[in-house]
Amino acid sequence: MKKSLLLLVVAIFTLTTTFEASAKWTDRNTFNLKGPVKAVYDNNSKYATWEFEEDGDIIYEEGELYWQCILRDDYDRITQINGEIYSYNNKGQVEGKQIRWDNETYTYNAKGQVIKAIFQGSGPNGDYSYTATYTYQKFDKYGNWIKRTAKTGKKRTVETRTITYY
């Protein structure tokens, strides 16, 4: 009995400290980015999707400047930003995101890449739910994807992004 209890305590401690043992958290981690990312541009847009300070703190996301308050947890991870609420798994990956009445849930592969996203919510035409699966074709020298395919039902969309670095 004592041995079982000890094993349980060790397992719980290991699971709860998995994230703590990782490298210093920056806001780039929230968006699954590696390296000294300065900005990300989706699908050849001339406007950045995200911009970061040199230390990794986010300063811009799709039209919003972040000089305002960002809520964070004890690990300095973003928990709320511009009405978006983030939750994390024990590996420090974004597990889900809630945007007003909409929810997104993510599944990762062993390489830490999002391979599935489930979107659920309410819109002007009623409730909706759909799943997107992702396959990755191209990466940059830091391991960030720069080309992937999103599949939603029978529709396939090629997504590209350009990433600039400090």
d(CA 155, CA 137): 17
The one-letter amino acid at 28:
R
Contacts of 116 (CB under 8 A, 6+ apart): 106, 107, 131, 132, 133, 134
pLDDT of residue 113: 96
Domain borders along the chain are: 24-165
**Tens digit of pLDDT for each residue in 104-147?**
999 999 999 999 999 999 888 899 999 999 999 999 999 999 99
pTM for the model = 0.78
pLDDT of residue 133: 98
With a cut of 50, say whether residue 4 has pLDDT above it: no
**Tens digit of pLDDT for each residue in 69-116?**
789 999 999 999 878 899 999 999 999 999 878 999 999 999 999 999
**Tens digit of pLDDT for each residue in 9-64?**
334 444 444 444 455 789 999 999 999 999 999 998 888 888 999 999 998 776 65
